[in-house]
């Protein structure tokens, strides 16, 4: 009987020790966190020179990442592409490059999971910080842009897609003397360019059906010719 009593005590002690053993983060835990993190996140912030900033972050199950910053004005969104990975303690490393900037330098951001949301760890977003709320990704909508046009050319869409009109453009309400001209590789429907002029246009950027986005995610339609001046 005494021997049986000792065995019962030992068994109870071992059970308690197992229950109280500290939990460690395993590769499985990190993988599960990574699965839970994928989705779309969004936040609205104030901005000094525009009506505001709408920031959207998409984390895909393939570990691809996309961040867009829309200043809610007449310019296109800033698009950053890259990848993401799960760290320990519910943190995520997101590495991004700005599309079309010509700058290969990567931005590295660290977020910490806060319930279903992501909270940025760092100083880049000022004293208010940045918390991205997880939600359903909204469908693309038409956006009205202000576009300055100074040149028209013919661009190749790529193998099998033929050629199209393209333009040297600047986006936004003001054209500064040192403005950097970008290339818009899409025609502007209903717009006729006359050589030697600089145009200020109001243009509707319309999302294309995802099934035909091999030729570009958007189409452009002229809404108004705001001004037309001789190029200097």
> Is residue 86 located within the same domain as residue 103?
yes
User: Rounded CA gap, 117 and 113, in Å?
Assistant: 6
Residue 5 lies in a domain: no
Domain-terminating residue out of 135, 167, 201: 135
- What pLDDT digit, counting tens, does each position of 30-78 carry? 445 544 899 999 999 998 889 999 999 999 999 999 999 999 999 999 9
Last residue of a domain, one of 109, 135, 161: 135
Give the structural domain span for 122.
Answer: 27-135
pLDDT of residue 76: 97
Residue 7 lies in a domain: no
Residue 2 has what pLDDT?
45
Residue 18: inside a domain, yes or no?
Answer: no
- Condensed to tens digits (0 to 9), the pLDDT of residues 171-225 reads 999 999 999 999 999 999 999 999 999 999 999 999 998 777 667 889 999 999 9
Residue 50 inside a domain? The answer is: yes
Based on the domain organization, do 130 and 180 belong to the same domain? no
Quote the tokens at residue 48: 């000094």
The answer on pLDDT for 90 being more than 90 is: yes
Residue 102's pLDDT is: 80
CA–CA dist 26, 45 (Å, integer): 36
Residue where the block lists tokens 């599960």: 32
| 92 and 147 part of one domain | no
Smallest Cα–Cα separation from 203: which of 217, 218, 183, 216? 218
Q: Is residue 10 part of a domain?
A: no
**Tokens 């490393």 map to which residue?**
93
The verdict on 68 and 99 lying in the same domain is yes
Alpha-carbon 4 to chain mean position: 66
What values do phi and psi take at 44, rounded to 5? -110, 130
- 22 lies in some domain: no
pLDDT at residue 103 tops 90: no
DSSP for 40-93, written as a single string: EEEEEE--SSSS-EEEEEEE-TTSEEEEEEE-SSSSPPEEEEEEEEE-STTEEE
CATH number where 129 lies:
2.40.128.640
Same structural domain, 173 and 226: yes
3-class DSSP assignment, residue 37: helix
Q: Is the pTM of this model over 0.75?
A: yes
Residues 173 and 210 in one domain: yes
Instruction: Look at the chain and report how many structural domains it folds into.
Output: 2
User: Which pLDDT belongs to residue 7?
Assistant: 41
Q: Are 121 and 34 within one domain?
A: yes
Distance CA(120)–CA(116), nearest Å, equals 13
Domain boundary among 135, 160, 185: 135
Contact 107, 97 (CB under 8 A): yes
Looking at the structure, tell me whether residues 179 and 99 fall in a common domain. Answer: no
pLDDT tens-digit series, residues 121-180: 999 888 889 999 999 999 999 999 999 999 999 998 877 778 899 999 999 999 999 999
Same domain for 130 and 199, yes or no, is no
> Counting Cβ atoms within 10 Å, is residue 86 exposed (0-12), middle (13-18) or buried (19+)?
buried
- Would you say 170 and 144 are in contact if contact means Cβ atoms under 8 Å apart? no
The pLDDT tens digits for 8-20 are: 444 444 444 445 5
Q: Is 126 left (phi over 0), alpha (psi -120 to 50) or beta?
A: left
Which residues touch 89 (CB under 8 Å, ≥6 apart)?
25, 112
Residues 42, 123 share a domain: yes
In a domain, 12, yes or no: no
Check residue 20 and give its pLDDT: 52
22-35 pLDDT, tens per residue? 555 454 454 455 44
Encode burial over 125-139: b for 16+ CB neighbours within 10 A, e otherwise: eeeeebebebeeeee
35 and 123 share one domain: yes
């Amino acid at each position: 009987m005494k021997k049986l009593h000792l065995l019962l005590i030992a068994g109870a002690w071992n059970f308690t020790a197992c229950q109280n053993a500290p939990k460690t983060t395993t590769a499985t835990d990190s993988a599960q966190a990574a699965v839970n993190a994928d989705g779309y996140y969004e936040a609205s912030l104030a901005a000094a020179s525009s009506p505001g900033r709408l920031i959207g972050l998409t984390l895909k199950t393939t570990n691809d990442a996309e961040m867009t910053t829309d200043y809610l004005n007449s310019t296109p969104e800033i698009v950053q592409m890259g990848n993401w990975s799960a760290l320990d303690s519910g943190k995520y490393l997101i590495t991004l490059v700005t599309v079309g900037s010509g700058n290969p330098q990567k931005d590295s951001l660290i977020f910490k999971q806060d319930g279903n949301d992501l909270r940025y760890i760092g100083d880049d977003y000022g004293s208010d910080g940045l918390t991205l709320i997880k939600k359903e990704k909204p469908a693309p909508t038409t956006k009205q842009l202000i576009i300055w046009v100074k040149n028209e050319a013919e661009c190749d869409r790529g193998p099998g897609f033929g050629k199209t009109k393209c333009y040297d453009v600047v986006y936004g309400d003001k054209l500064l003397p040192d403005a950097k001209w970008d290339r818009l590789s899409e025609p502007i429907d209903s717009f006729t360019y006359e050589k030697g002029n600089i145009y200020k246009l109001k243009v509707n950027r319309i999302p294309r059906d995802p099934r035909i986005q091999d030729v570009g995610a958007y189409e452009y339609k002229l809404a108004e010719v705001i001004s037309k001046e001789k190029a200097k």
